[in-house]
Amino acid sequence: MSETHVTTRFAAVLLLVGAALLLIGNTVHPVDVESSATSRLALADTAAWMPIHLTIAVGVLAVIAGLAVLARVFHRPLAAAFARVGVVAAIVGGGALVVVFGALDGYAQASLAGAWQASSGVEREGIETVALALDTIDSGMTAVGILALFGVALLAFGAALVASDVVRHWVGWAACAIGLLGVVTGTLFAILGSTPLVINGLFRPLALITTVYLAVLAVALVRVGRSTATVPA
**Confidence bin at 37 (pLDDT 50/70/90):** low
Nearest to 185 by CA among 195, 170, 171: 195
Residue ranges making up the domain that contains 176: 3-230
Q: What own/partner pairs with CB < 8 Å and gap ≥ 24 does 139-143 have?
A: 139/189, 139/193, 139/194, 140/190, 141/96, 141/97, 141/99, 141/100, 141/104, 142/96, 142/97, 142/100, 142/189, 142/194, 143/186, 143/187, 143/189, 143/190
Tens of pLDDT, residues 115-164: 888 888 888 888 888 888 888 888 899 999 999 999 999 999 999 999 99
Distance (Å, whole) CA 174 – CA 207: 14
Percent pLDDT > 70 in the chain is: 92
Distance (Å, whole) CA 86 – CA 67: 8
**Confidence bin at 233 (pLDDT 50/70/90):** very low
Distance (Å, whole) CA 85 – CA 83: 5
Q: What is the number of domains present in the chain? A: 1
Spatial contact of 193 and 139, defined as CB atoms under 8 Å apart: yes
Whole-number average pLDDT of the chain: 88
Tens of pLDDT, residues 38-87: 777 877 878 888 899 999 999 999 999 999 999 999 989 999 999 999 99
Tens of pLDDT, residues 163-215: 998 889 999 999 999 999 999 999 999 998 878 788 888 998 999 999 999 99
In terms of pTM, does the model score above 0.85? yes
What pLDDT, on a 0 to 100 scale, did the predictor assign at position 154?
97
